[in-house]
Structure 1
Amino acid sequence: MSRERALVLVVDDEPANLALLDKLLRHLGYDVVQASDGLQAVAAVAEHEPDLVCLDVLMPGLDGIEVCQRLRAQPAYVGLPILLVTALNRPEDKVRGLEAGADDFLSKPFDESELAARVRSLLRMKALQDRLGDLLRRYVSDSVAAEVLRAPFAVDMRGDRRHVSTLFADVRGYTALASQHQPEAALDLLNRYLTVGTEAVEAFGGTVAELLGDGVFAFFGAPVLHSDDPERAVRAAARLQVEIGRLEIPSLPGVRLQAGIGITTGEVIAGNIGSERRMHYAVVGDPVNVSARLQTAAGPGQILVDAATHDSVGDLAVWQDLGNLRLAGKGDWTRVYNMVELRP
């Protein structure tokens, strides 16, 4: 959230302590909201989305440690700085606080200059993390970015073998439409389609690797792995087809779009691909190539999948077995299934 001045949530069950922190923080140039217990603190974070929480530990009901644990359990608050302002100063108390998710400690009674220094330090950290999050969300989906920020060492962005489901989608007839209309109208159509495609993929936890002209290249299973990635890919494809059919382009009245989609599941190499100056996160391997060729073979409105994807999702959808097809550029025959519809 963009603000002219940082907003600090102050939490303490003692009115005098609240008043003191409020006065000092406002004097330092920050805006302040208050909460007098743990439950109010959790609610205030959701309502005001502060940039920093100054949190007392010893409070009746939900104490400061439990507030930390509740906030850190929610991906949206993983990067929210928490400063424990407490009379507890034993090493074991600090360990408990840090393990619960606090970022720093300030022991009561405190000096105003120390408060100012710790608050500035934590807000700098918050600004850097926000910037990192903004950049990461241009790189991967919001859900993947949140997972990376929540557990950065659990997600490997380097090249490694992954079992993923790959999706290619392409608008049918776009080249002809573009040649028949003004460039502004064609660009409007393209942007609306790519928005729909990106949102469909990210709604199911996928990663959009590239926007290829009038096409979308996405995958499920990297950098964050889910047990049901093939199902996520199929559901994303189905939603994409539905939403494309609903698109209305004011500059192109009466035009209705359809896409051809191909999905495969298999082992690939996932990681940062490119030169030292320009990189992006993507996957490479034979399943990617097959997925692209399935997309090329798909007719308007079709979703074609390979046998691995079909076998993984089972009765999720009604399928038409197209048998073994020879895809362009592939020497081997590929078993292909057409998704007729998702089962209710």
Structure 2
Amino acid sequence: MKKILAVDDNPDNIQLIVDIVEDLGHDVIKAYDGYQALDAVKQFLPDLILLDVNMPGMSGFEVLAKLKENDETKQIPVIMLTALAGIDHRVEGLGLGAEDYLVKPFSPLELIARIKARLRAKAQTDDLREMQQVIRKTFERYVSSAVVNQLLKDPTSIELGGKLQMITVFFADIEGFTTTSERTDPETILTVLNKYHEVTVQIVQQEGGTIDKFIGDAVMALFNTPLQQPDHPLRAVRAACRIRDSLPQFHEQFSEEFRLKINFGIHTGWAVVGNVGAPQIMDFTAVGDTVNVAARLQDLSHNGQILISDATYQLIHQAIRAHPIGAKIFKGRSEAVMTYEVLAILND
């Protein structure tokens, strides 16, 4: 059952609308002038407004203009009902934002058809808006605002449930941070940690990465999700190189004991990506062996190394300078992972 606001200074016209709308199973809110209409909209937030044009005090066009300039009411569809049949009046009403325009006297069947059409369109718009809100709530903490805005342009392309897809997983961990934190007061060490996270997040997001989570002094990020990125392995490696190269200048703000290196592990492979958690609390993340391999590579790295798997290397070897570390066996895996250290991005 929907709420439909009927606005007309003629009680007979109001009663006709009431008879039609109630036969459709909807509630009718009545207003006999523009001021009553605006008060009723504020109080009831109707799903549809049937608005007369010629009314004393405030015309329907004036009411329409006020509705469409208000963020809370501009999405409510309006059908203008008027005896003004001239094309100029139609253009004025539609130009102010009316969704439809029906000339009196009208056929009840035509009004019924237009009411049904506008309510269907509003339901679709409401569903789209709700999906956009879900996407913004899900991703605005993890990706740059530019990525969120791009997602909102086509929210139907995003699958928030679990989906198997190829991604590149990125881990960055501050070397020696635990030891440093043991001899530093909590407030200072938290300030230092947040500054390291800030520079990491900024560069990852600039490269189109999605911040998955913070694990103490480590950062996990995903590439090729939620937006598809054909060059996702290179984006992840480039982010790591940029972070590493930014550290000398970044360290200038700290005393010697806080000038720490960052170690990286990067792996490309298949993972299940989507919302994980309980109905009350969910996070957008990735799960699977690909995540584990990236984490193990980061554990293996030291002294500011950027370690990547053979899977990542084969996709970008022409764009990077790297040397092989060798095949490594990681805990929980039977197969060795050929490992490379990235030295630089070529032509960068």
Q: Measure the CA separation in 1 of the matches of 2:256 and 2:209.
A: 32
Q: Measure the CA separation in 2 of the matches of 1:120 and 1:150.
A: 22
- AA aligned to 2:238 is R
Matches within 5 A, 1:99-114: 111-114=61-64
Choose 1 or 2 for highest CA Rg: 2
User: CA-to-partner distance for each residue in 1:69-89, whole Å, 9 max, x for gaps?
Assistant: xxxxxxxxxxxxxxxxxxxxx
* Percent of matched pairs sharing the same residue: 30
Partner residue in 1 for 2:198: 195
- Shift of the 252–155 alpha-carbon distance from structure 1 to 2, 3 Å rule, reads same
Partner residue in 1 for 2:288: 285
User: CA-to-partner distance for each residue in 1:144-196, whole Å, 9 max, x for gaps?
Assistant: 31222111011222211110000011000001111122212211110001111
CA contact (8 A) 1:144 1:207 kept: no
Matches within 5 A, 1:228-247: 228-247=231-250
Instruction: State whether structure 2 residue 279 is matched by structure 1 residue 276.
Output: yes
Matched length: 236
- AA aligned to 1:115 is A
CA contact (8 A) 2:68 2:74 kept: no
- AA aligned to 1:321 is P
CA contact (8 A) 2:192 2:258 kept: no
Structure 1: 5+ residue stretches without partners: 1-27, 29-108
**How far has the Cα of 1:135 moved from its partner?**
6.6
User: CA-to-partner distance for each residue in 1:256-299, whole Å, 9 max, x for gaps?
Assistant: 12111000001111000111111110011111100000000001
Q: Measure the CA separation in 2 of the matches of 1:334 and 1:165.
A: 15
Instruction: State whether structure 2 residue 65 is matched by structure 1 residue 115.
Output: yes
Matches within 5 A, 1:100-179: 111-121=61-71, 133=136, 136-179=139-182
When structure 1 is superposed on structure 2, of 187-196 and 236-245 the one drifting more is 236-245
- Shift of the 124–303 alpha-carbon distance from structure 1 to 2, 3 Å rule, reads farther
- AA aligned to 1:112 is E
Matches within 5 A, 1:309-324: 309-324=312-327
Partner residue in 1 for 2:265: 262
Instruction: State whether structure 2 residue 333 is matched by structure 1 residue 330.
Output: yes
CA contact (8 A) 1:169 1:261 kept: yes
**How far has the Cα of 1:244 moved from its partner?**
3.2
- Scaled by the length of structure 1, the TM-score of the pair is 0.63
CA contact (8 A) 1:174 1:214 kept: yes
- Shift of the 227–250 alpha-carbon distance from structure 1 to 2, 3 Å rule, reads closer
2:183 is matched with which residue: 163, 180, 184?
Answer: 180
* DSSP-derived class of the 1:305 partner: strand
- Shift of the 186–320 alpha-carbon distance from structure 1 to 2, 3 Å rule, reads same
* DSSP-derived class of the 2:274 partner: strand
Q: Measure the CA separation in 2 of the matches of 1:122 and 1:240.
A: 43
* DSSP-derived class of the 2:337 partner: strand
Q: Measure the CA separation in 2 of the matches of 1:133 and 1:284.
A: 22
When structure 1 is superposed on structure 2, of 114-123 and 320-329 the one drifting more is 114-123
- AA aligned to 1:305 is I
- Shift of the 135–223 alpha-carbon distance from structure 1 to 2, 3 Å rule, reads closer
* DSSP-derived class of the 2:226 partner: coil
Instruction: State whether structure 2 residue 303 is matched by structure 1 residue 306.
Output: no
- AA aligned to 2:197 is L
Instruction: State whether structure 2 residue 225 is matched by structure 1 residue 218.
Output: no
Partner residue in 1 for 2:33: none
CA contact (8 A) 1:188 1:249 kept: no
Q: Measure the CA separation in 2 of the matches of 1:219 and 1:134.
A: 18
**How far has the Cα of 1:253 moved from its partner?**
5.0
CA contact (8 A) 2:327 2:338 kept: yes
- Shift of the 325–183 alpha-carbon distance from structure 1 to 2, 3 Å rule, reads same
* DSSP-derived class of the 2:241 partner: helix
**How far has the Cα of 1:254 moved from its partner?**
5.9
CA contact (8 A) 1:142 1:202 kept: no
**How far has the Cα of 1:246 moved from its partner?**
2.7
- Shift of the 312–143 alpha-carbon distance from structure 1 to 2, 3 Å rule, reads farther
- Shift of the 123–136 alpha-carbon distance from structure 1 to 2, 3 Å rule, reads farther
User: What RMSD over aligned residues (CA atoms) do the two structures have, in Å?
Assistant: 2.5
Q: Measure the CA separation in 2 of the matches of 1:334 and 1:342.
A: 22
**How far has the Cα of 1:124 moved from its partner?**
6.4
CA contact (8 A) 1:143 1:202 kept: no
**How far has the Cα of 1:140 moved from its partner?**
3.2
